[in-house]
Structure 1
Amino acid sequence: MKDLKVTSITYTNESPKESLIWFHQLLTKLIIDELKLDPFHAGSFIMSAHQFLKLIENMEDKGEVNND
């Protein structure tokens, strides 16, 4: 990954949904830049990862995942 430099930090009163949308856009851009994917495939990649994480979360809620 390329070296990144934080140039400023901005605090806002965004709702969690707005923050999630912003994070999704940032993650998509990073995936496009680093993996050289086109926007369609980057979005598909992120959606697959999100669905996998939701599946794991649901399994944990039901006690079906052993974290040992």
Structure 2
Amino acid sequence: MKVGFSKNGLRLNSKEFNPLNLPLKGVGIESDIPLNPPNAEDILSVFQQPNIRSANRAQGVEILKSMIEKSL
């Protein structure tokens, strides 16, 4: 997975990411609420956690979850 930042906000795998428009198992919810671009420093601070390279799957999910929370 590639995480990127642009002037328009967060990008995952080179696609704009809006946590309000997240499809899950073929079902999607869309929102017309405008998304303010997140602060890149807040999201990157997640990677300052100790032992992030040795995180297991559950810890990886928690890391991604905290990134999404900081992007809101």
TM-score by length of 2: 0.28
Which structure carries more strand by proportion? 2
Which structure carries more helix by proportion? 1
